[in-house]
Amino acid sequence: MTRILHRWPGLILAALLLVITLSGAALSVFPALEVAQAPRVASGLSVADLAARVQAAHPGVEQIKRAPSGQITAWWFDGGRPGSGVIDPATGQDIAPADPDPVRRWLTTLHRSLFLDDGGRLVAAIGAFAMLVLAGSGAVLVARRTGGWRRWFAPLRGLLAGRLHTELARVAVIGLVLSSATALWMAAETFDVVTIDRVRLAVPAVVSGETGLALASMDTLRAIPVAELRDLNFPAQGDATDTFILRTDQGMGYIDQGTGEMLAWRDLSSWQRVSETIYMLHTGEGLATLGLILGLMALSVPVMAVTGAVVWFAGWQARPRPKGNAPAAKATTVVLVGSEGGSTWGFADTLAKGLRAAGQSVHLAPMSGFDPARHKHAERFVILAATYGEGAAPASAKGFLERLAALPNAPSAPVAVLGFGDRSFPAYCAYAEAVVNAVQAKRWPSILPMDTVDRQSPQDFARWGRALGAALGIALELVHQPVAPEAEALTLISRRDYGAEVQVPLTILRFALPEISLWHRLTGGGFTRFQAGDLLGILPDGSPLPRLYSLASGSKDGFVEIVVRHHPGGLASGQLTALRPGQTVRGFLRQNPGFHAGRDRKQLILIGAGTGIGPLAGIVRANTCKRPVHLVFGLRDPASDFLYDNELAGWQADGRLARLSTAVSREGSGPRYVQDALRLEAAQMADAIRAGAKVMVCGGREMAQGVTLALADILQPMGMTPAMLKAEGRYVEDVY
Mean pLDDT by 10 residues, the chain (736 residues): 63 82 91 89 92 94 94 92 94 91 91 90 90 88 77 74 85 92 90 72 86 92 95 93 94 94 92 90 88 90 85 66 83 92 86 93 91 90 87 84 91 95 79 95 95 89 95 92 82 93 90 83 75 92 85 95 92 94 93 84 94 96 95 92 94 96 79 90 94 94 92 94 89 87
d(CA 508, CA 498) in angstroms, rounded, equals 8
User: Residue 158 has what pLDDT?
Assistant: 62
Question: Cβ(46)–Cβ(224) under 8 Å?
Answer: yes
Q: 319-472, which class in CATH?
A: alpha beta
Q: What are phi and psi of 337, to 5 degrees?
A: -120, 130
Contacts of 220 (CB under 8 A, 6+ apart): 246, 255, 260, 261, 262
Q: Smallest Cα–Cα separation from 422: which of 447, 443, 391, 448?
A: 391
CA–CA gap between residue 216 and residue 357 (Å, rounded): 99
**Taking the CA atoms of the chain, what radius of gyration do you get in angstroms?**
37
pLDDT at site 392: 78
15 Cβ partners below 8 Å, 6+ apart? none
DSSP-assigned letter for residue 500: G
Cα torsion at 517, 521, 522, 523 (round to 10°)? Answer: 90
pLDDT reported for residue 523: 62
Q: What is the CA 269 to chain-centroid distance, rounded?
A: 43
Q: Identify the pLDDT of residue 433.
A: 96
The pLDDT tens digits of the residues spanning 90-122 come to 999 999 998 888 999 999 999 999 999 889 899
Q: Letter for the amino acid at 374?
A: R
Asked if 319-472 and 597-735 have one fold, the answer is yes
- What does the pLDDT read at residue 469? 95
* b/e burial code for range 160-176 (CB count within 10 A of at least 16 → b): bbbbbbbbbbbebbebb
Q: Does domain 488-593 have CATH number 1.10.260.40?
A: no
Distance CA 614, CA 608 (A): 9
Q: What is the pLDDT of residue 662?
A: 92
pLDDT the model gives residue 389: 66
CA distance 462 to 479: 6
Q: What does the pLDDT read at residue 311?
A: 76
Say how far apart CA 396 and CA 385 lie, in whole Å: 9
SS3 62: strand
pLDDT tens digits, one per residue of 634-681: 999 888 889 999 999 999 999 999 999 999 987 766 678 999 999 999
pLDDT of residue 213: 93
**pLDDT given for residue 157 in this prediction:** 64
Cα three-residue angle 421-426-428, rounded to 5 degrees? 20
Query: Tell me, what's the pLDDT at 708?
Result: 94
Distance CA 363, CA 58 (A): 83
Q: What is the CA 311 to chain-centroid distance, rounded?
A: 11
Contacts of 488 (CB under 8 A, 6+ apart): 514, 526, 527, 586, 587, 588
Structural domain spans, the chain: 2-32+104-196+279-313, 40-89+202-268, 319-472, 488-593, 597-735
3-class state of residue 229 by DSSP: strand
Distance (Å, whole) CA 99 – CA 112? 20
Q: What angle do CA 207, 210, 216 make, to 5 degrees?
A: 105
- Specify the CATH class of 597-735 in words: alpha beta
> Would you state the pLDDT for residue 710?
95
Rounded Cα distance between 607 and 731, Å, is: 11
- Strand intervals (E) in 81-225: 81-87, 94-96
How many CA within 13 A on the CB side of residue 583? 10
SS3 465: helix
The separation between CA 272 and the C-alpha centre of its own chain, rounded to angstroms, equals 39
Distance, in Å, from the CA atom of 701 to the CA atom of 80, rounded to the nearest integer, reads 99
Contacts of 1 (CB under 8 A, 6+ apart): none
Half-sphere exposure of 298 (CA within 13 A, CB side): 26
Q: What is the pLDDT of residue 600?
A: 83
The pairing of strands 506-512 and 559-565 is antiparallel
- Residue 229 makes CB contacts below 8 A (sequence gap 6+) with 47, 50, 64, 66, 247, 248
Q: In angstroms, how far is CA 533 from the centroid of its own chain?
A: 22
